[in-house]
């Protein structure tokens, strides 16, 4: 049982790290602000989500697990807002970044 | 631990030491809360109280012949914080509590709240921060813990910097920003040294540290960093660049406090550092460096003062020079002549505080009455406002080191010590500095006392002239300090023991 | 080299690289953004040093609130980014500066390497006297009991900071409100975000303050989180900064140091010394003081970020 | 090398970087950033001192930690005051520079002397 959970954790966290990596590459390589934003938000949310998912079985208590989920939810909220605001700023002032 | 216990046996009346810090701090909070005219009322009402504390502390030290000690919160160092007052602390406290009310009385005209009681920006800020300077200086003079003293340094910076740009002109803003940058740099370097000392000895209490200090790399680096930081705050040449624009552009009452007292705060800490924390170090080389920088400050500051076109800038540059004298005590204050040199250094700090405060207040009156402070336009002004120029001239006596003045006593003591120590070079520098001071004061006073009386925009108020004159007379009176005064200065001075080595 | 060591080295290099970026970045705005990233990385370093209280403070104040302050300043200073030619330093001065800095780094690094692995410490004394305070977190005990005098005075420094910042107002704005006025139609995304986040953040801030007695956290960290919530609501322009002349604002700004100072003086009367706590009553008294300190920090930090009053006072 | 020593070396390097920024960059905002770098370097030195004082069941000496927390708050207040001064100077003059106006000081000690 614990082996299966460990394998699950490793798989989920590795996948999460991959999405972070992909997002970072996209941020650095994509040509304009909107597509960079696209790379960043999609990958980050998914990446963090997978890492949190992988960490859940390792949480010491239900409270700790809830905190992990809460962190993910808060990052979702902040990330979505920041992306909205940046997107709006790009539309207003042109994609000069 | 038994050794530690004896150092922190609470002395009778030790709790008095917390009051000169806490009372003005409470004044700051109340002034800001109540605002309007209350700030001025609270500030002025607390000044005699502060004088009472200072005198009470001095008389307790005098009667017991021992430094006063107080442990805060019942947590003895190294875990907690102690306050300590020796003879030097007490005279600095008394001096502060005399100059503050003078600046306050003078400033009432400039920083009055209108009759309808509407709160105005400059008065509220001035009266609040004046009390903050008082609290910070008290803490600097009484603090026994190096980190606590860091907080005191920051308190002083936050209180002093906004005063520089109180009138909001662009050049005062630049001067204040520059001052703030130098002060922040100084505080951070001081703090870095504090970190290293804690890392080496696990305590920041001055007495406990002085017992453990050995000459090792961490201590040398800490000493160098802390001294460099404090020198930047004291504006010793070549770190003086911030001082003239800051002190010359502040309102006169603030200039008097900044030039007379605030720079003495960080100087006091340098003395504490080298005489109380690090007496065990072989300190001939660093002390010679300090004195060499002091000499350079005397010569460069005086020479720059000679070239100034505005009176307040001239006085500010003379502060750069007079700060230099303070550092001549360092190479002289170990050895059989140490008591003289130490007394000379302290006397210089006191007489410069009174003299410079008097001169800045006089310069403020001159600028208000004439509508400018250009030296070229001072012709005959001395005839139109004789008391003001008398105060300016009497203050000048101390700068030149002519008798009778506290400055004369200071320079005489330092010169005697340097000749006895066979270190002639400092004596020569002092003589040259005196001559240069004579030169720049002549440039101001000679035209002012001859020529036709100019038309004054408004004659200075007699009460304000008297305030400046009283400060100048105090600087003169210091020349007549009795021997018991010098004996008092030696109370708690650890270098007295080091002299035997 | 273990994995953890490799992570440490990587973190150290990353912190150094981002710090170098903030010094050498081409524009001030880019440098400032670099500084915020740097602050977050630094709080990871603090975790690795087992100083969780400091890590929280660094993340909340050193990186978070300072970041808002500096980014706001960088944005307003756009247009002043170019350095006039006469102020650019000559190559020689730069070389001299670099030499001086290398000297400082070398000396400091040498001393750091020479420090013994097991250094002098006050940890045993702190633990010995911790029970008197009734607290479980020794860092909180240092701040509110052993060295409470420092902490009280540092709160006075914050008040002076507000006085200093306000003193830069134009005379006609004295007593008015700093920052932007409340918007008729706030930016919807930001408003939604602020409305969602603020209640959660306030809960977290109070929680961090409350657990600070026994676990990492406390007045500084909790207060900073509460401050951030107020700042977000103001940034969304759902509300506006209060007038500088408002009595309640002044009271909030001084409440922390004032209660602390009053308790310190009361100690002289009831507990035999300034800043002493009466035995047995220490913990409730400490929590009482901390409550006011948290509140004052929550009000002070946004006021320091908001800057001097910029609108004429309403009477 | 322990992670504490490593952090100490980073602290030393940060002090140096910050000092260079303070001296070499004439823009006040960049100087403020550099001051913050020096500050965090100094705090890290406190941090390794704390870590090396691990004893009595604590993994770090709490006293230097308390000092760092105090220091971080003071550093923030200092940044706020410096930023406010810089912005006001910019509003008044249209530029943000530390050079005082010509005439109030001799021409030979320019910005390079900071």
C88-117 pLDDT, tens digit each: 677 888 898 899 999 999 999 999 988 888
Contacts of C219 (CB under 8 A, 6+ apart): C143, C144, C209, C212, C290, C293, C294, C297
What tens digit of pLDDT does each residue of B199-257 get? 999 999 999 999 999 889 999 999 999 999 999 999 998 999 999 999 999 999 999 99
Determine, yes or no, domain membership for B432.
Answer: yes
Render pLDDT for A8-42 as a digit per residue (tens, 0 to 9). Answer: 999 999 999 999 888 888 888 888 888 888 888 87
Mean pLDDT over each residue of chain B, to the nearest integer: 91
| Domain count for chain A | 1
In a domain, D19, yes or no: yes
| B7 — pLDDT class (breaks 50, 70, 90) | low
Which positions ≥6 away from C308 have C-beta within 8 Å? C165, C166, C167, C168, C169, C173, C178, D84, D88
Question: Average pLDDT of B25-48?
Answer: 94
Q: List, in order, residues 6 or more apart from B347 with CB less than 8 Å away.
A: B406, B409, B410, B413, B478, B481
Could you give the 3-state DSSP secondary structure of residue D55? strand
CA B271 to chain centre: 12
Chain C residue closest to A77 (CA)?
A: C193
Q: Which of B170, B244, B248 sits opposite D93 (nearest CB)?
A: B170
Q: Report which of B164, B191, B159, B167 is spatially closest to residue B179, judged by C-alpha positions.
A: B164
Could you list the residue range(s) of the whole structural domain that residue D11 is in? 3-95
Q: Of C154, C160, C264, which has the smallest distance from its Cβ to B159's Cβ?
A: C160
- Per DSSP bridges, beta strands B68-71 and B82-85 are antiparallel
Q: Do A88 and C189 touch (CB under 8 A)?
A: yes
pLDDT of D106: 35
Q: Cα separation of C81 and C72, whole Å?
A: 14
B151 chain-C contacts, CB cut-off 8 A = 150, 153-154, 157
Chain A, nearest residue to C198 by Cα: A74
The set of residues, in sequence order, having a beta carbon less than 8 Å from that of C146 and lying 6+ positions away, is B73, B75, B79, B80, C126, C129, D63, D66
Which residue out of C196, C236, C238 would a mutagenesis test of the A interface target, given it has the greatest number of A Cβ atoms within 10 Å?
A: C196
Nearest to B245 by CA among B228, B259, B231, B257: B259
Q: Do A77 and C189 touch (CB under 8 A)?
A: no
The total domain count for chain D is 1
CA distance B157 to B140: 12
CB contact under 8 A, C261 and B29: yes
Residue B70, classed as helix, strand or coil, is strand
> Under 8 Å CB-to-CB from B153, ≥6 apart: which residues?
B136, B140, B183, B186, B187, B190, B233, B265, B266, B269
pLDDT of the residue at C5: 86
- The pLDDT value recorded for residue B3 is 42
Residue C12 makes CB contacts below 8 A (sequence gap 6+) with C45, D6, D7, D9, D10
Quick one: which of C253, C167, C258 has its CA closest to B124?
A: C167
Min distance C190 CA to chain A CA atoms (Å): 7
Q: Which residue in the set D45, D104, D113 is minimally distant from B245, CB to CB?
A: D104
- Confidence tier at B338 by pLDDT (50, 70, 90): confident
Partner-chain contact C245 B168, CB within 8 Å: no
Q: Is D53 on the interface with C (CB under 8 A)?
A: yes
pLDDT by residue for chain C (315 residues), tens digit each? 688 888 889 999 999 999 999 999 888 889 999 999 999 999 999 999 999 999 999 999 988 899 999 999 998 887 665 555 556 677 888 898 899 999 999 999 999 988 888 889 999 999 999 998 888 899 999 999 999 999 999 999 999 999 999 999 999 999 899 988 888 888 888 898 999 899 999 999 999 999 988 888 889 999 999 999 999 999 888 888 899 999 999 999 999 999 999 999 999 888 888 999 998 889 999 999 999 999 999 999 999 999 999 988 886
Q: Would residue B392 count as lying in a domain?
A: yes
Let me know if residue B336 belongs to a domain. Answer: yes
Q: What is the pLDDT of residue D114?
A: 32
Chain C contact for D86 (CB, 8 A cutoff): yes
Please list the ranges in chain D whose pLDDT falls under 70: 1, 96-114
- Interface probe with D: pick from C100, C116, C129, C139, most Cβ of D within 10 Å: C139
Mutation choice for C interface testing from B4, B32, B192, B196 by most C CBs within 10 A: B32
Q: Do D58 and C123 touch (CB under 8 A)?
A: yes
Q: The tokens of B487 are what?
A: 């004996």
Asked, for residue D35, whether it belongs to a domain, the answer is yes
Q: How confident is the model at residue B359 (pLDDT cuts 50, 70, 90)?
A: very high
Backbone angles phi, psi at B374, to 5 degrees: -70, 130
Tell whether B337 is covered by a domain: yes
Residue C107 has a pLDDT of: 94
Those of residues 26-65 in B touching chain C at CB distance below 8 A are 26, 28-29, 32-33, 35
ipTM passes above 0.90: yes
The residue of chain C nearest to residue D82, with distances taken between CA atoms, is C165
Are C74 and D54 in contact (CB < 8 Å)? no
Q: What is the pLDDT of residues C238-263, one digit of tens each?
A: 888 899 999 999 999 999 999 999 99
Helix (H) or strand (E) run with residue B83 in it: strand B82-85
* Domain presence at residue B494: yes
- A71-86 tens-digit pLDDT: 899 888 888 888 888 8
According to the model, what pLDDT value does residue B501 have?
A: 34
Q: Which tens digits make up the pLDDT trace of B151-210?
A: 999 999 999 999 999 988 888 999 999 999 999 999 999 999 999 999 999 999 999 999
**b/e map of B78-106 (b: 16 or more CB within 10 Å)?**
bbbbbbbbbbbbbbbbbbbbbbbbbbbbb
Task: Check contact D-A (3+ Cβ pairs < 8 Å).
Answer: no
Residue the block writes with tokens 């000169």 = B20
Q: Which long-range contacts (CB under 8 A, 24 or more apart) does D101-110 make?
A: D101/B170, D101/B171, D101/B174, D104/B171, D104/B244, D104/B245, D104/B248, D104/B249, D104/B313, D105/B241, D105/B244, D105/B245, D106/B304, D106/B307, D109/B241, D110/C86, D110/C87
Q: Is residue D79 part of a domain?
A: yes
Q: How far apart, in whole angstroms, are the C-alpha atoms of residue A40 and residue C162?
A: 38
Give the closest-approach CA distance of A78 to chain C in angstroms: 7
- Angle, vertex CA D105, rays to CA D101 and CA D109, nearest 5: 105
Q: Is there a domain that residue B116 lies in?
A: no
**Residues of chain A contacting C187 with CB distance shorter than 8 Å:** 85
Q: Which of C289, C280, C278, C125 is nearest to B73 (CA)?
A: C278
Confidence of residue B114 (pLDDT cuts 50, 70, 90): confident
- Chain-chain contact of B177 with D28 (C-beta, under 8 angstroms): yes
Determine the Cα–Cα distance for residues B315 and B298; give it in Å rounded to an integer: 13
- C-alpha distance from B81 to closest chain C C-alpha (Å): 6
Residue C10, Cβ density class (10 Å: 0-12 exposed, 13-18 middle, ≥19 buried): exposed
Reported confidence tier of residue B131, pLDDT bands at 50, 70, 90: very high
What span, in angstroms and rounded, lies between the C-alpha atoms of C188 and C195? 10
By Cβ distance, the residue of D42, D100, D105 closest to B192 is D42
Residues 23 through 42 of chain D touching chain C, CB cutoff 8 Å: 23-27, 29-30, 32-34, 36-37, 40
CB-based contact C48:D11 (threshold 8 Å): no
Produce one character per residue of A49-60: b if its CB has 16 or more CB atoms within 10 Å, e if not.
bbbbbbbbeeee
CA distances from B413 to B325, B347, B482, C177, C261 (A): 12, 9, 14, 56, 43
Distance CA B430, CA B414 (A): 9
Domain limits for position B369: 292-501
- Interface C:B, ≥3 CB–CB pairs < 8 Å: yes
Residues of chain B in contact with residue D23, where contact means CB-CB under 8 angstroms, are none
Measured over the CA atoms of residue C235, residue C237, residue C243 and residue C246, the dihedral's sign is negative
Give all chains having 3 or more CB-to-CB distances under 8 Å with chain B. Answer: C, D
Residues 6+ apart with CB under 8 A from B192: B222, B225, B229, C108, D15, D41, D42, D45
As a whole number of angstroms, the distance between CA C47 and CA C54 comes to: 8
Question: In this structure, what token pair is assigned to residue C24?
Answer: 């050498």
Q: Is residue B17 part of a domain?
A: no
Q: Which two tokens stand for residue C239?
A: 């509300």
The span from the CA of D31 to the CA of D24, in Å, is 9
Per the structure, the count of domains in chain B is 1
B285 and B293 Cβ atoms separated by less than 8 Å: no
What is d(CA B480, CA B349) in angstroms, rounded to the nearest whole number?
16
- Which of D21, D36, D62 lies closest to C138 in CB terms? D62
Distances (CA, A) of C172 to B434, C175, D74, D94: 47, 9, 29, 20
pLDDT band at B106 (very low <50, low <70, confident <90, very high): very high
DSSP 8-state code for residue B460: P
Both structure tokens of B444: 């101001």
pLDDT at C73: 92
The span from the CA of B454 to the CA of B436, in Å, is: 28
Interchain CB distance below 8 Å, D75 and C62? yes
Average pLDDT over every residue of B395-408: 90
Residue bearing tokens 């035995």: C279
CB-CB neighbors (< 8 A) of A88 in chain C:
189
Distance CA A49, CA A68 (A): 10
């Amino acid at each position: 049982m614990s082996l299966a959970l460990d394998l699950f954790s490793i798989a989920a966290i590795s996948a999460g790290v991959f999405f972070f990596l992909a997002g970072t590459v996209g941020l650095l390589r994509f040509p304009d602000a909107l597509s960079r934003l696209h790379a960043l938000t999609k990958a980050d949310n998914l990446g963090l989500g997978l890492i949190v998912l992988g960490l859940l079985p390792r949480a010491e208590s239900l409270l700790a697990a809830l905190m992990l989920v809460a962190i993910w939810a808060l990052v979702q909220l902040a990330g979505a807002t920041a992306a909205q605001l940046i997107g709006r700023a790009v539309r207003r002032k042109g994609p000069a970044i | 631990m038994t050794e530690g216990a004896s150092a922190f046996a609470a002395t009778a009346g030790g709790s008095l030491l917390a009051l000169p810090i806490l009372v003005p701090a409470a004044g700051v909070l109340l002034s800001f809360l109540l605002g309007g005219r209350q700030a001025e009322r609270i500030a002025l009402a607390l000044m005699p109280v502060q004088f009472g504390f200072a005198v009470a502390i001095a008389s307790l030290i005098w009667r017991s012949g021992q430094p006063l000690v107080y442990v805060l919160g019942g947590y003895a160092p190294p875990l907690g914080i102690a306050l300590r007052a020796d003879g030097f602390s007490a005279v600095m406290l008394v001096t502060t509590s005399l100059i503050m009310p003078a600046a306050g009385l003078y400033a009432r005209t400039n920083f009055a709240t209108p009759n309808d009681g509407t709160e105005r920006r400059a008065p509220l800020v001035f009266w609040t921060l004046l009390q903050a300077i008082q609290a910070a200086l008290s803490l600097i003079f009484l603090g026994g813990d190096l980190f606590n003293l860091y907080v005191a340094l920051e308190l002083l910076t936050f209180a002093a910097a906004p005063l520089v740009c109180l009138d909001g002109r662009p050049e005062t803003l630049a001067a204040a920003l520059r001052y703030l940058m130098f002060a922040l740099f100084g505080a951070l370097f001081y703090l870095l040294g504090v970190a290293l000392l804690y890392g080496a000895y696990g305590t920041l209490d001055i007495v406990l540290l002085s017992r453990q200090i050995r000459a090792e790399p961490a201590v040398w680096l800490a000493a160098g960093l802390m001294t460099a930081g404090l020198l930047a705050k004291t504006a010793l040449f070549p770190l003086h660049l911030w001082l003239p624009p800051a002190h010359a552009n502040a309102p006169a009452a603030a200039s008097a406090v900044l030039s007379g007292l605030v720079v003495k705060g960080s100087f006091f800490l340098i003395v504490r550092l080298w005489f109380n924390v690090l007496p065990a170090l072989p300190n001939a080389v660093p002390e010679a460096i300090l004195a060499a920088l002091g000499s350079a400050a005397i010569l460069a500051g005086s020479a720059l003062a000679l070239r100034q076109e505005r009176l307040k800038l001239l006085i500010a540059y003379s502060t750069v020079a007079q700060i230099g004298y303070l550092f001549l005590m360092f190479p002289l204050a170990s050895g059989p002549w140490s008591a003289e040199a130490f007394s000379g250094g302290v006397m210089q700090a006191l007489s410069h505080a009174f003299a410079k405060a008097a001169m800045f207040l006089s310069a403020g009156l001159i600028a208000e009455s004439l509508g400018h402070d250009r030296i070229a336009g001072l012709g005959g002004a001395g005839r139109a406002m004789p008391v003001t120029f008398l105060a300016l001239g009497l203050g000048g006596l101390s700068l030149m080191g002519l008798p009778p003045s506290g400055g004369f006593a200071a320079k005489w003591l330092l010169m005697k010590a340097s000749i006895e120590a066979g270190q002639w070079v400092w004596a020569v520098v002092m003589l040259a500095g005196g001559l240069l001071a004579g030169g720049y004061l002549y440039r101001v006073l000679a035209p002012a006392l001859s020529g036709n009386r100019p038309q004054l925009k408004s004659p200075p108020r007699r009460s304000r002239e008297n305030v400046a004159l009283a400060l100048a007379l105090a600087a003169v009176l210091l020349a007549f300090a009795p021997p018991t005064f010098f004996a008092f200065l030696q109370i708690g001075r650890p270098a007295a023991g080091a002299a035997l080595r | 080299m273990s994995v953890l060591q490799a992570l440490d080295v990587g973190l150290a290099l990353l912190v150094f690289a981002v710090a170098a970026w903030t010094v050498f970045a081409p524009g001030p705005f880019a440098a400032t953004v670099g500084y915020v990233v740097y602050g977050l990385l630094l709080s990871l370093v603090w975790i690795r040093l087992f100083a969780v209280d400091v890590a929280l403070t660094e993340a909340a104040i050193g990186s978070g609130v300072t970041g808002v302050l500096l980014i706001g300043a960088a944005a307003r200073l756009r247009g002043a980014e170019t350095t006039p030619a006469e102020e650019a330093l000559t190559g020689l001065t730069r070389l001299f500066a670099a030499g001086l800095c290398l000297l400082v780094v070398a000396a400091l690094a040498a001393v750091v390497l020479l420090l013994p692995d097991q250094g002098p410490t006050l940890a045993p004394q702190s633990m010995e006297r911790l029970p008197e305070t009734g607290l479980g977190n020794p860092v909180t005990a240092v701040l509110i009991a052993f060295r409470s005098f420092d902490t009280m005075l540092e709160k006075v420094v914050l008040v002076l900071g507000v006085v200093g910042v306000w003193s830069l107002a134009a005379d006609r704005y004295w007593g008015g409100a700093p920052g932007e006025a409340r918007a008729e139609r706030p930016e919807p995304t930001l408003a939604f975000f602020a409305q969602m986040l603020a209640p959660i953040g306030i809960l977290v801030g109070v929680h961090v303050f409350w657990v600070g007695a026994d676990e990492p956290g406390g007045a500084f960290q909790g207060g900073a989180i509460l401050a951030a919530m107020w700042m977000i609501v103001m940034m969304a322009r759902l509300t506006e900064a209060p007038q500088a002349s408002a009595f309640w604002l002044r009271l909030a700004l001084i409440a922390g140091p004032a209660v602390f100072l009053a308790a310190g003086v009361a100690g002289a009367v009831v507990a035999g010394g300034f800043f002493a706590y009466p035995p047995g009553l220490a913990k409730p008294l400490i929590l009482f003081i901390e409550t006011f300190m948290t509140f004052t920090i929550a009000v002070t930090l946004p006021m320091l970020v908001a800057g001097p009053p910029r609108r004429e006072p309403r009477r | 090398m322990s992670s504490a020593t490593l952090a100490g070396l980073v602290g030393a390097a940060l002090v140096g970087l910050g000092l260079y920024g303070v001296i070499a960059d004439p823009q006040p905002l960049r100087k403020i950033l550099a001051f913050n770098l020096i500050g965090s370097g100094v705090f890290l030195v406190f941090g390794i001192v704390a870590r090396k004082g691990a004893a009595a069941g604590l993994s770090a000496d709490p006293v230097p930690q308390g000092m760092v927390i105090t220091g971080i708050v003071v550093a923030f207040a200092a940044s706020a005051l410096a930023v406010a001064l810089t912005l006001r100077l910019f509003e008044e003059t249209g530029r943000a520079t530390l050079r005082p106006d010509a005439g109030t000081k001799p021409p030979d000690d320019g910005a390079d002397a900071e």
